[in-house]
Amino acid sequence: MTGQPTDAALVAAARSGSDAAFARIVDRYQSPVRSFLRRICVYESDADDIAQEVFLTAWTRLRLLDDGRKLKSWLFGIAWRQSKMTARSMARRRNRDQAWHDVQDQAESPDRDMHLAMQQALTRLPEDQRAAVALCLAGGWTHADAAQVLEMPLGTVKSHVSRGRTRLMEILGVSG
Amino acid sequence: MTREPEQQTDPLAAFFQAGEVPSVDPAFRIEVMEAVARRRFRIGLAVRAAVLAGLVVLAGLLMPVIDQLAVSLGAPLLELLVVLLVTGLVAYAGQAWLRRNPDRPLLRWRRFRIF
């Protein structure tokens, strides 16, 4: 029986120079990291560039990760810090990318409409609240894990999630 | 990191679901691995340049000692020393060529906590 290698095993292999192991780490976490970044970035087009930078930073700093089992939260922590850092430098490109999105949006599916509605609603939340909502409501993280990643007190995360949820439901016209 | 029970029936779930990125996107992985290869190349280049600069400085500092050694050894022994040095360098280069692997450099910088 051959199971999937654990995060700790992949981290150990990647640390000793295995590109294949690092590629598996990228495959394993690209979707949640990119989804998280798409939700917290005001402009979705920034998200994949930041995600690429997140994995590159992770490769460079892999030896600083004490416990390979914490890989997921470590990656999300990098993503959160990176998104805050690069938000300003990305600003210059926004007008150009927005023009591209305007073209894209004309021929999209109902799923895309829902996604765009959510994106627009998320941009109306403060940055910290948006990140807490993206992790806990969209990503299914526990409040405690999210607090660790976002480096916020547990109570603050709970409050952000609760207020963010209420605000999103108001904006989207959803009742729960 | 499990989903909390009260969030499973969240009316916002469908909105979030619509924005999920595909689980594996090979194009994204290729872009990341290309960026990793570029960074590794730049680090390797910087290390080689630093080592070369260090060797040049060291050679300059040791030159007076080498001069004195050459005089005290005499011509036959000096030739022997040069032959030994050149043989050593050729052997090292040959070994490096035979064991070349970008993932496993001959000098393991991690041992010295350099990279």
Q: Which of A59, A61, A75 to mutate to test the interface with B (most CBs of B within 10 A)?
A: A59
Residue A166: pLDDT over 80: yes
What's the confidence (pLDDT) of residue A160? 93
CA dist A84 and A77 (Å) reads: 11
In whole angstroms, give the CA distance from residue A128 to residue B106.
Answer: 46
Question: Start-end ranges of CATH 1.10.1740.10 in chain A?
Answer: 7-107
Of how many residues is chain A composed? 176
Confidence of residue A89 (pLDDT cuts 50, 70, 90): low
pLDDT of res. B7: 47
Residue A22 pLDDT grade (very low, low, confident, very high; cuts 50, 70, 90): very high
Whole-number Å distance between alpha carbons of A22 and A42: 29
ipTM above 0.90, yes or no: no
pLDDT band of B103, cuts 50, 70, 90: low
H or E stretch covering B51: helix B26-73
Which residues, 6+ apart, have CB-to-CB distance to B38 below 8 Å?
none
Cβ–Cβ below 8 Å for A35 and B36: no
Residue bearing the bigger pLDDT, A132 or B11: A132
Quote the Cα angle for B76-B81-B82, to 5°.
100
Query: DSSP character for A137?
Result: I
**Does A26 sit within 8 Å of B1, measured CB to CB?**
no
pLDDT in tens, A38-77: 888 877 778 889 999 999 999 999 988 888 889 999 999 9
pLDDT reading at A101 higher than 80: no
Can you tell me the mean pLDDT for B26-36? 92
B103: containing domain:
24-112
Of the partner residues B10, B22, B29, the one whose CB lies closest to the CB of residue A26? B29
Dihedral, A66, A68, A74, A78 alpha carbons, nearest 10: 90
Residues A32-39 have a mean pLDDT of 91
Whether B4 sits inside 8 A of A72 (CB atoms) is no
User: What's the rounded Cα separation, in Å, for the pair B4 and A142?
Assistant: 6
pLDDT-derived band at A1 (thresholds 50, 70, 90) equals: very low
Q: How many domains does chain B divide into? A: 1
A31·B31 Cβ contact <8 A: no
- Note the pLDDT of residue A96: 56
Shortest CA distance from B3: residue in chain A: A140
- How long a stretch of residues is chain B? 115
User: Nearest 5°: CA angle at A165, between A35 and A99?
Assistant: 45
Q: Read off the tokens for A113.
A: 């409409």
Q: Check pLDDT > 80 for residue B85.
A: yes
State which fold the A7-107 domain adopts: Rna Polymerase Sigma Factor; Chain: A (1.10.1740)
Cα–Cα distance measured from residue A142 to residue A129, given in angstroms and rounded to the nearest whole number: 15
CB contact under 8 Å between B28 and A48, yes or no, is yes
Q: What is the pLDDT of residue B72?
A: 83
What is the residue whose two structure tokens read 């996107």? B25
Concatenated DSSP letters of A138-157: IS---HHHHHHHHT--HHHH
pLDDT value, residue B6 = 46
Mean pLDDT of A120-128: 88
DSSP per-residue letters across B71-107: HHH-HHHHHHHHHHHHHHHHHHHHHHHHT--TTS-SS
Q: Tell me which of A124 and A107 has the higher pLDDT.
A: A124
For residues A78 and A25, what is the distance between their CA atoms, to the nearest angstrom? Answer: 15
CATH topology of domain A108-176: Arc Repressor Mutant, subunit A (1.10.10)
Tokens of B51: 């080592």
Considering only residues A69 and B22, tell me which one the structure prediction assigns the higher pLDDT: A69
**Read out DSSP for A41-104?**
SSSHHHHHHHHHHHHHHHHHHGGG-S-GGGHHHHHHHHHHHHHHHHTTGGGGGHHHHHHHHHHH
The whole-angstrom distance between B59's CA and the closest CA on chain A is 33
Is B37 a residue whose pLDDT tops 60? Answer: yes
A54 and A77 Cβ atoms separated by less than 8 Å: no
The CATH 1.10.10.10 portion of chain A extends over 108-176
- Residue A93: pLDDT over 70: no
Whether the CB-CB separation of A122 and A130 falls below 8 Å is answered with: yes
Q: How close B17 gets to chain A, by Cα (Å)?
A: 8
Q: How much is the average pLDDT of B30-55? A: 92
SS3 (DSSP) at B60: helix
Q: Average per-residue pLDDT in chain B?
A: 79
Model confidence at B108, in pLDDT bands (50, 70, 90)? low
Q: How far is A140 from chain B (nearest CA, A)?
A: 4
What H or E segment, with its residue span, contains residue A129?
Answer: helix A127-133
Which of B2, B10, B16 to probe the A interface (max A CBs under 10 A)? Answer: B16
